[in-house]
Amino acid sequence: MDLNLDGQVAVVTGASTGIGRATAIALAGEGVQVVGASRRPPESEMKGISFFSADLSKPDAPQLMIDHVIGLHGRLDIVVNNAAAGQVYEGFLSEEADGWAKTLDLNLMAAVRVMQAAIPRMKDRGGVIVNVTSVNSRLPAPDAAAYSASKAALLNVGKAVASEFASQGIRVVTVSPGLTATPMWLGAEGIAQQVASMKGSSPSEVADETAASTPLGRFLTPEEVASCICFVASPRASAVTGTEFVVDGGLTPTM
């Protein structure tokens, strides 16, 4: 299916690894001019994608990023708010205030600032904002209360922004992935490693047990999530705004 994205301009945050990287590559494959933003450079070359170094937890970084995209390409059609970090704890009482502040600043406030910087640039011709949250926004994890809360808040903000700007041709859609094979989960300091350290097991055992507990019995690939992001960002989904697409392999129970 041709997504009719050729010639559009996108910025993808957290683009050096995982879902962000897969999304940047997929959008570029559809003919989009992509700027990938992250704190660290990409692990390997991303053909056809320019890179902007940004620590989006810093208050001025989102505006600098959007200004860079406009200066480079003269327009902005798609924003993918994907940058995030997650950490597990032994319980709610072990999550200190500083950890809460850092989690909320990157996972929620960075995305809010990106939207506030991007929307004025989209008002003339319209655009799409895709906020990447998590199934933890609806299935809060007892060992990751701050992360779960940040994702629930971003889901809520997305709906509010979508309602306000729909009449101006700006769509806001949420994509909520489930268990996905990203560095956040499987990296050297990822969630599997964190849980293994607390349980006295190995990261591979934690990963295998967690995957086995899901309906699909496996981790999703970043490319599977990226495919959904590309679709909702495209004109093929022109009537879709203010809603959530859950890409979790059946993990979230519904009726």
Sheet holding 9-13, edge to edge: 49-53, 33-38, 9-13, 78-81, 127-132, 170-177, 244-247
In sequence order, what E strands does the chain have? Answer: 9-13, 33-38, 49-53, 78-81, 127-132, 170-177, 244-247
Question: Pick the residue with more confidence: 87 or 221?
Answer: 221
pLDDT (0 to 100) of residue 154: 98
Token pair belonging to 50: 């320019």
pLDDT (0 to 100) of residue 254: 63
| Statement: residue 71 has pLDDT above 80 | yes
Residues 170-212: pLDDT tens digits? 999 999 999 999 989 898 888 989 989 888 889 999 999 989 9
Residues 151-170: pLDDT tens digits? 999 999 999 999 999 999 99
pLDDT (0 to 100) of residue 65: 98
pLDDT (0 to 100) of residue 8: 97
CA-based nearest residue to 46, from 22, 66, 14:
22
Please tell me the number of Cα atoms within 13 Å of 154 on its side-chain side: 38
Token pair belonging to 108: 């929620």
Residues 101-138: pLDDT tens digits? 999 999 999 999 999 999 999 988 999 999 999 999 99
Average confidence (pLDDT) over 68-95? 93
- Strand-pair partners of 79: 11, 129
pLDDT (0 to 100) of residue 40: 86
- How far apart (Å, rounded) are the C-alpha atoms in residues 201 and 206? 7
pLDDT range class, residue 47, cuts 50, 70, 90: confident
pLDDT (0 to 100) of residue 86: 86
C-beta of residue 238 within 8 angstroms of C-beta of residue 125? no
Give the domain ranges of the chain. Answer: 9-178+221-246, 183-219
Residues 131-156: pLDDT tens digits? 999 999 998 988 899 999 999 999 99
Q: Which residues, 6+ apart, have CB-to-CB distance to 175 below 8 Å?
A: 130, 131, 132, 133, 225, 228, 229, 232, 244, 245, 247
Report the topology of domain 9-178+221-246: Rossmann fold (3.40.50)
| Rg from Cα positions in the chain | 18
C-beta of residue 177 within 8 angstroms of C-beta of residue 223? no
**Lookup result for tokens 């809010």:** 112
| Statement: residue 253 has pLDDT above 80 | no
pLDDT (0 to 100) of residue 37: 96
Predicted structure pTM score: 0.94
Q: How far is CA 191 from the centre of its chain?
A: 17
Q: Which residues are catalytic?
A: 147
How many other C-beta atoms can be found within 10 angstroms of the C-beta atom of residue 21?
A: 26
